[in-house]
Structure 1
Amino acid sequence: MSVTIDITGLPRERIVFCPSPLAELGASLHALAEPSHHARLHAWTATTAAALEPELADRLHEADFMWRSTRSDFLLPAQPRATLTEELDDLDRMDDEKYVGSALEISCASRYSRGAPSPLVDERMRRRALELATARGPRQAAFVERMLADPPGTRAWIRRLMEDCDEAFFADTWRRVRVQLSADARHKTELMRRKGLAEAVADASSAMVLEEDGAGSRIVVDKLVQGRTDAEGSGVTFLPTAFGWPHLFALHAPGWQPVIQYPVPARDLGVGAPVDTVKLRMEAVAHPMRMRLSRSLARGAYSTSELADTYGISAPEVSRHLAVMKKAGLITTQRRGRYVLHQLDVAVVARLGSDFLESVLR
């Protein structure tokens, strides 16, 4: 599974690496709402949350559905500006239908990503948004009702919330992280100029690749979702974030310029296994017999005949189970004379839990 961004024929100058204060504010608000996702930010989230005025904390809780489990697309600007005020001004120029559809993305779920109409103009989407908001509790239901009834007033309320966050904690945070983010964006831009887009994309995240063949060029983002969009006529914007790991956001909704927000610095955060590999490994260890075989293989190297004798099954059956585990990269083999010995790769198995968590949070 992956998100694919078709960039066939797109001029390289329309592929931009640049930090965004609004995107970074959105990332920091997510970290405050879900600190368990961001153990490495514990000191910042704990200190910042403790210093929030109760009234501001309450307003953040009221609106956190826009950044808690996903990120509303308007928080990932395709044309980053130097200041938060400029980006909020750009946001004010967005029409109500697009703004409200994006803000209520989590309440429109999969239909939003397929290009469903805004709840402001489609009664079916309106009912669905209200129904899903109600399932999430009375506060979100009340907020969604207010947004659908009074988009301008609710948008002004959200802008004030962002400005109050800037005054309370984000302005200081942005001063500390923007130098790092700007340096990373310059590095990626120079890398793209000297060595090509493939190198810049790979340097941004090991979960992204540039695919090029006779059919065209595509940026493929390894995620547990399926999506596709076309950057022709618009461009692609890469937003570095100091608050993002382990998330890798890829905005691919119809009608929006593709935007990718990637964590910085990637090399210091570890490299997780691809989603398909994690799936293969989990399926391999989930089988009862392979779990039993793993008990022996974790303790030492065994031949097929030894395992067959230990577990009372035929050698061909053992071989079939070992083949599944080997394909998943869970075992190593070595030859000793005329015997082939198999052993569990304990380090790979130990990483399986963290690889799975990174995959679902990405």
Structure 2
Amino acid sequence: MSVHIDITGLRRERVAVVPSPLAELGMALHALSEPGHHPGLQGWATTVTAGLDPHLADRMCEADFLWRTTFSDLFLPSAGIPGGSTLPAATLAEELDLLDKLTDEQFVDAALEFTGALTYDAEGPGALSHPQVRARALDLAASRGPQQVRFTRRLLDDPPCVRAWLRQFLEDCDEAFFAEVWSRLRHQLATDVRHKTDLLRRKGLAEALASVSPALSLDESAGRITVDKLADGRTATADGGLLLVPTSLGWPHLMVLHRFRWQPVLHYPVGSPELAAPPSVEQLTLRMTALSHPVRMRICRHLARSAYTTGELAQVHGMTAPEISRHLGVLKKAGLITTRRRGRYVLHQLDVTVVARLGSDFLEGILR
């Protein structure tokens, strides 16, 4: 599973690293709604939540599926402006003006992403113009709850009203807590932008992407960026550009905007506790599969306590040496055991550091 960005013909000057106050506000709302995703921000989230005006707190729940269950592309409106060259603005007010420039169709389709009713990275009918898509969106919203149904009906019946409501809500969030947050975080983001831009200029896109996340890889011969995620998708820069947007609140989320006809965006965390080289989705799958077998679990019990030879493990488990070797091969391929030679013997031992990280690795992988 992965998301692919076709960058055939992309010129270096069309790659931009730019912070986005609106995207950071969206991430702040997500952290407030899902503090479990962001353990390092729980103290901040508790403080902000405790100080919120009750009316604003209620409104924050009214459409929280735009930032809690999904991160709506509405928080990156510059990507939807035709031409594929518009950059995020320097202030929240200017970015909200960009949000106002999206057509009603773009706004509604992006807002309804949480329902899964619409095609995302390919051309398809919109909910405003196709009755069947509208009915399906309402049906899928109903499976999420009455609040989602009410929002979806309002959105489909009166998009300008919902747009005005959302803008006012975001402006109120800015006044209540985000202006102070942005004044602290924008300097860290500006530093990261300078670093990534310098890498782009001096060493090229591959080096810049490597500094963004180990989950990104560039195949220059194929003209393709691959994002290692538990999701499938594809997009292309075509005649437009590529945006890299940093967030100080985003770890462990690495998000890819790959909506059809929108400029591709990599929204990535900076200053995170992320491991230097987290396992790929494929490697994580290998490890989880390797440990799911009862025989290999028993082998790991022994290898966690001491180093064993294949013969010793065969004797302990009442199995043949070739059978044990096959299980050890699976564990070794998954990177769960280490081997060392002692004289004519080869000793195997569980890498307890790797196993201890599996919980956080799994969480990072599914939230990436």
Cα drift, residue 178 of structure 1: 0.6
3-state SS of the aligned residue for 1:68? coil
Amino acid at match of 1:270: L
Aligned 8 A contact 2:121 2:234 in 1: no
Return the TM-score normalized by structure 2.
Answer: 0.95
Residues 1:354 and 2:360 aligned together:
yes
Cα drift, residue 308 of structure 1: 0.9
**Equivalent residue for 1:197?**
205
Residues 1:8 and 2:8 aligned together:
yes
**Equivalent residue for 1:93?**
101
3-state SS of the aligned residue for 1:9? coil
Q: Matched residues in 2 for 1:33 and 1:113: separation? A: 27
**Correspondence list, 1:187-266, <5 A:** 187-213=195-221, 216-266=222-272
Residues 1:140 and 2:148 aligned together:
yes
Residues 1:29 and 2:29 aligned together:
yes
Amino acid at match of 1:61: C
3-state SS of the aligned residue for 2:10? coil
Match of 2:130 among 122, 125, 131: 122
CA RMSD of aligned residues (A): 1.2
**Equivalent residue for 1:316?**
322
Q: Matched residues in 1 for 2:121 and 2:61: separation? A: 25
Amino acid at match of 1:17: V
Which deviates more from structure 2 when the two are superposed, residues 71-80 or residues 44-53? 71-80
**Equivalent residue for 1:104?**
112
Residues 1:270 and 2:275 aligned together:
yes
Amino acid at match of 1:94: L
Q: Matched residues in 2 for 1:113 and 1:51: separation? A: 40
**Equivalent residue for 1:152?**
160
Residues 1:328 and 2:311 aligned together:
no
Cα drift, residue 172 of structure 1: 1.0
Aligned 8 A contact 2:118 2:126 in 1: no
Return the TM-score normalized by structure 1.
Answer: 0.97
Structure 1 runs of 4+ off > 6 angstroms? none
Deviations 1:277-296 (A, max 9, x none): 10010000001110111110
Deviations 1:271-320 (A, max 9, x none): 32111110010000001110111110111111111111111111111000
Q: Matched residues in 2 for 1:110 and 1:300: separation? A: 54
Aligned 8 A contact 2:189 2:246 in 1: yes
Residues 1:69 and 2:77 aligned together:
no
Cα drift, residue 115 of structure 1: 3.6
Gapped runs of 5+ residues in structure 1? Answer: none
Q: Matched residues in 2 for 1:220 and 1:274: separation? A: 12
**Correspondence list, 1:33-72, <5 A:** 33-72=33-72
Cα drift, residue 342 of structure 1: 0.7
**Equivalent residue for 2:174?**
166
3-state SS of the aligned residue for 2:330? helix
Cα drift, residue 113 of structure 1: 3.9
Amino acid at match of 1:269: E
Aligned 8 A contact 2:118 2:133 in 1: no
Deviations 1:243-288 (A, max 9, x none): 100000100121111011100124x432321111100100000011
Deviations 1:21-66 (A, max 9, x none): 1100011100001000000011211111111111111111011010
Amino acid at match of 2:37: H
Cα drift, residue 110 of structure 1: 6.9
Q: Matched residues in 1 for 2:303 and 2:241: separation? A: 50
Gapped runs of 5+ residues in structure 2? Answer: 80-86
Aligned 8 A contact 1:2 1:221 in 2: yes
Change over 3 Å in CA distance of 1:109–1:223 after alignment to 2: farther
Amino acid at match of 1:143: F
Q: Matched residues in 2 for 1:156 and 1:171: separation? A: 20
Deviations 1:175-224 (A, max 9, x none): 110111011111100111011111111111121122212xx322211110
Cα drift, residue 339 of structure 1: 1.3
The sequence identity of aligned pairs, in percent, is 58
**Equivalent residue for 2:84?**
none
3-state SS of the aligned residue for 1:335? strand
**Equivalent residue for 1:344?**
350
Cα drift, residue 112 of structure 1: 3.1
**Equivalent residue for 1:301?**
307
Amino acid at match of 1:13: E
Amino acid at match of 2:275: G
Q: Matched residues in 2 for 1:162 and 1:128: separation? A: 28
Q: Matched residues in 2 for 1:134 and 1:114: separation? A: 25
Cα drift, residue 70 of structure 1: 1.4
3-state SS of the aligned residue for 1:246? coil
Aligned 8 A contact 1:119 1:125 in 2: yes
Cα drift, residue 137 of structure 1: 1.1
